[in-house]
Amino acid sequence: MTEQTAPTTAAGEPATARGEQTRQLILDTAMRLFRERGYARTTMRAIAQEAGVAVGNAYYYFGSKEHLIQEFYAHAQAEHRATAGPVLARETDLAARLAGVMHAGIDVLTPSHSFAASFFKTAAEPTSPLSPFSAESSGPREAAIGLFAEALDGSTARFDPELRPHLPELLWLAYMGVVLHWVYDRSPGQARTRELIDGAVPLVDRLVGLSRLRVLRPVTRQVLDLIRTLRH
């Protein structure tokens, strides 16, 4: 489980018990307004007004809307791990573990679906600190990759050991594709995203298992070379 750091203010000071309550109030208010009005139309001033705090006080705890979203990322990832916990404790089959982790992630994100599309337009910008690939998002990203590593480590699956160090990140990238589909999924309850998970996971499981076959090792090496190239 990823270690959680103590909350701090935007100035980097440790939050007191009362201060943490105010901080949480501001965060909860922001998430509600993002869902009701959309990310772009919600200002820090509006968040402060709805939370019943001074604008300066809101900025004291969160330097910008981007800081609020980074906090949302951290909370969502912690909840993702907790929601996936029962499946990881119960299952040893890799497909069941991967499906459990992916469905748990969508469960956690579902309350935010109403503003996800408008927010994604900002997060999709290559230079945006809200991008899941940005340096600012490194903490939640590494925690998510660690969750997929846990799904692998606790399974009975056998695969090419040379591929093992890279598999968690590859699985996380696949999950990001699922999240992108979910963002624009307008089916009732985002049922198509659930169908995508249930259809794709068995294929991923099979590919992972096939990676240990000698005849496919050249393909595995090509994948690893591509990963190294993209990281440079």
Q: Residue type for 98, please?
A: L
What's the rounded Cα separation, in Å, for the pair 229 and 162? 17
- Which residue from 3, 208, 198 is spatially nearest to 102, judged by alpha carbons? 198
CATH number for position 97: 1.10.357.10
Q: Which of 11, 40, 63 is the last residue of a domain?
A: 63
Q: Residue type for 45, please?
A: R
Containing structural domain, residue 25: 1-63
Q: Comparing 228 with 79, which gets the higher pLDDT?
A: 79
Whether the CB-CB separation of 161 and 169 falls below 8 Å is answered with: no
Angle at 138 between CA 38 and CA 183, to 5 degrees: 35
Residue 1: pLDDT band by 50, 70, 90 thresholds? very low
Q: pLDDT for 18-57, tens place per residue?
A: 888 999 999 999 999 988 888 888 999 999 999 999 999 9
Q: pLDDT for 4-15, tens place per residue?
A: 455 555 545 555
Percent of the chain residues topping a pLDDT of 70: 84
* pTM (two decimals): 0.82
Q: pLDDT for 115-131, tens place per residue?
A: 888 888 888 888 888 89
Same domain, 49 and 89: no
Instruction: Provide mean pLDDT across the span 148-172.
Output: 89
What's the rounded Cα separation, in Å, for the pair 9 and 18? 12
Radius of gyration of the chain (CA): 20
Same domain, 78 and 114: yes
109-134 burial, b for 16+ CB within 10 Å, e for fewer?
Answer: beebbebbebbbebbeeeebbbbbeb
Structural domains in the chain (count): 2
Q: Which of 15, 39, 63 is the last residue of a domain?
A: 63
The alpha carbon of 161 is separated from its chain's Cα centroid by a whole number of angstroms, namely 26
Average pLDDT, the chain: 86
Q: pLDDT for 189-222, tens place per residue?
A: 999 999 999 999 999 998 887 777 666 667 666 7
What's the rounded Cα separation, in Å, for the pair 193 and 98? 15
Q: Which of 42, 63, 84 is the last residue of a domain?
A: 63
Determine the pLDDT at residue 3.
Answer: 45
